A and B are shown apart, each in its own frame.
Chain A
């Protein structure tokens, strides 16, 4: 029954026009970035290498697909959560709004299964979005710009990864980025369990992300104790795979925190939905 309903959920997601907004928006955004880089990428590179160029010169193909993919990820990782929440924030509250939730909840499927199948469907949609992001940013960018060494600017300095040492970083990076986006998906579905309309959970999800991001970036001692536990602090963990050396312990800690968030949010949603009176 659980798998049947998960299949149902995916049919519903696939049938909604808003599900394609995310995919189309991503394609357009990445297309715009690729166009901009093709037209004037050297200016962007100069910004990165400016402080070194008094003394050093950089030879070789800096503006390659690997770098473009990195730039795209950096730019979009703030915006993609909205595209995720747009769909996943509607999964429960949208049904309440439509009235179909009472049809669903009066079937011989437990409320736990209903919620878990929605989480799973949301996770699959998020995965699809991540794969699409990966395909466009990495493979399409490589097709257009070619491939090569990857130059990454961190707050510690410039790191240049040989081409042969890039692929596995992206694979792990995308997996971790997926976990970050999954946390957004889970958060929006959890909020959706409390609402009767879709706008509330979507806007609230984005507001939480913005608030936590601001708290995380403020250099104020009073926030230092909570920063490590905010999921937004760990949403950029994917970048750590491009450090040298890779801070594995720190990455594992980020993954742990994100998993904890997912588990807790699912538990809250289950609790809320199971005890809720369905009056809509």
Chain B
């Protein structure tokens, strides 16, 4: 009996160990891996405290496994935790363990919450939470905490690139608590408010990226990314 129980324990633990990767996540990764490259037109709308910028048009280029380029005539402000960081992280299953649990309803969709925990300290990602639509195998929302950028929340929306899991819009929520103006900046002569720091009221900023006109798996030269 004891030997049976011990064997069953080993089996359970073994199963648990071998069952670390969420199946939903694995399916998502598999779907994302079907995208070898893409080009997409982007319209970037930034609403970040202490930054004033109008809408900017850009073109994003992506090529497996982690080549990414933003091409814009003007200046675009994007989250540092970019578009490929998360995908790059979850693409390599040996980097993490993932646990499924019941998620929340997002845009009428019952999601599965996949919590992704790195297995070593070398990763920039500390913790990632992904709310995934299990039926369509797409990310509805993510919350990623990194050493370099802190917490980033992204909400996803999709239209015609569902089969590839490529979103039609991304809404990034940025933490701006740490923004500070260098004191040596020439003063605004008309400023009456003496505070040169974010007064803490608007601690969150939002960057919305609208993505249209995907050209997927058309073949992109490496020259583009130089």
Contact = CB atoms under 8 A, between A and B. Distances in A.
Task: Indicate whether A and B are direct neighbours in the complex (CB within 8 Å).
Answer: yes
B72 A158 contact: no
From A53, A55, A162, residue with most partner B Cβ within 10 Å: A55
Contacts of A243: 188, 190
A41 to B, nearest CB: 14
| Majority DSSP secondary structure for residues of A touching B | mixed
A25 interface: no
Contact of A155 (B48, B176, B187): B187
Given A59-B76, A240-B189, A52 B179 contact: yes
Q: How large is the interface on B (under 10, 10 to 19, 20 to 34, 35 or more residues)?
A: 35 or more
Interface in B24-83: 48-54, 56, 58, 70, 72-82
Interface residues of A, number: 43
B150 A55 contact: yes
A9 interface: no
A62 B75 contact: yes
A59 to B, nearest CB: 4
A62 to B, nearest CB: 6
A244 interface: yes
Interface string A145-161: 00011010111111110
B190 A247 contact: yes
Given A151-B75, A162-B74, A156 B178 contact: no
A157 B50 contact: yes
A169 to B, nearest CB: 14
A53 B77 CA distance: 10
B185 interface: yes
B73 to A, nearest CB: 7
A51 B185 contact: no
A186 B179 CA distance: 42
Contacts of A151: 75
B70 A159 contact: no
Interface string B139-175: 0000000001110100000000000000000000011
Given A59-B70, A158-B50, A239-B188, A54 B148 contact: yes
Contacts of A48: 182
From A57, A155, A233, A237, residue with most partner B Cβ within 10 Å: A155
B188 A154 contact: yes
Contacts of A157: 49-52, 179, 181
Interface string B89-119: 0000000000000000000000000000000
Interface in A139-177: 148-149, 151, 153-160, 162-163, 165
Contacts of A153: 181-182, 185
Interface string A206-243: 00000000000101000000000000011011011001
A128 interface: no
A109 interface: no
From A57, A61, A237, residue with most partner B Cβ within 10 Å: A57
30 contacts: A50-B182, A51-B179, A52-B179, A54-B150, A55-B81, A56-B80, A56-B174, A57-B80, A58-B77, A58-B78, A59-B70, A59-B78, A60-B70, A148-B73, A149-B56, A149-B75, A154-B188, A155-B188, A155-B196, A156-B50, A157-B50, A160-B54, A160-B74, A163-B73, A165-B54, A217-B187, A236-B187, A239-B189, A244-B52, A247-B190
Interface of B: 48-54, 56, 58, 70, 72-82, 148-150, 152, 174-176, 178-182, 185-191, 194, 196
